[in-house]
Amino acid sequence: MLTLEDTLDAAKQMMAFGEDGTDGAQAEQPARIQGHKARRTVKSIIRIGNETEEFVRRWDNKLKLYIPVK
């Protein structure tokens, strides 16, 4: 179904995430659904890679574009 290159790329990423394949519906785990209302302001801090650098951004203006604010 895939080229050798795409197969290897996908396999490497799956292994990096600790996966070994795609499972059907019977093996799926339910994702969490928690009760949250949309907030106007969200601050996120994401650490990327091994660097100590932290990225801080305000999420509100962007989020509003595709999430209706109640």
Partner 1 sequence: MKLGTRNLYLVLHHQLNDNTHRVLLADSIAQALDDWGASSRLSPIWATEEFSRGPDIDCRFTGTRYVTFLGPVDPMKLVRELKLDDHRSQLDVYITVGCFNVIVCTEDNAIGQEISGTLVEWAISKEVAFEQWRIVDGIVQKCTLGALSAHRAQEKIKKLAAFSSSDFPAHLAAVLQELQATAAASLSRAEAIHGPTFSYISEVVDGIIAIIGSFKSGTSDAFLLQTSLQQCNAALSRFASQATAGIPPIFEMQGHFWPHSLLGIGTANLAVRQLVAFIERVIGEAQLPQRVLRLADQTDNLPAYTSLVVGSGLLDFDILRETTLPAVTGKPLLPLVSFFSGRDGYSSKLQTLSLPSSALTECNSYRSNLLTVTHEISHIVIQALLAKISPTPGVPKDPEWVSRLWNENDGARNLLESTRKLFLEATLSIELTATTTIQGSEKKSMSKELHELLRAHRQETQEILVHTFDFLYFYRGDTEYYVRSIWLSWCAIPGIEDRVQEYLLRTLSAISANFQDISSEKRFGRALAILKPLLEKLAPTIQYPVNYIETALARISLMESDRNVLDEYDLLYNNRMLLVRLVKVFLHSDTLEKELYPAAIEDREFLSLDGKPIGNPLQYLASHLKNDVLEVESTWLFNILAFDPFFGAAVAG
**Residue 52 lies near partner 1 (rule: CB under 8 A):** no
24-51 core/surface letters (b: 16 or more CB in 10 A; e: else): eeeeeeeeeeeeeeeeeeeeeeeeeeee
Judged by CB under 8 A, how many residues of this single chain contact partner 1?
61
| Closest of 54, 33, 34 to residue 45, by C-alpha | 54
**Residue 27 lies near partner 1 (rule: CB under 8 A):** yes
CB 15 to partner 1: min, Å:
6
Q: Could you say which residues in the range 31-50 bind partner 1, by CB under 8 A?
A: 31-49
Q: Which residues bind partner 1 (CB under 8 A)?
A: 1-49, 51, 53, 55, 57, 59, 62-63, 65-68, 70
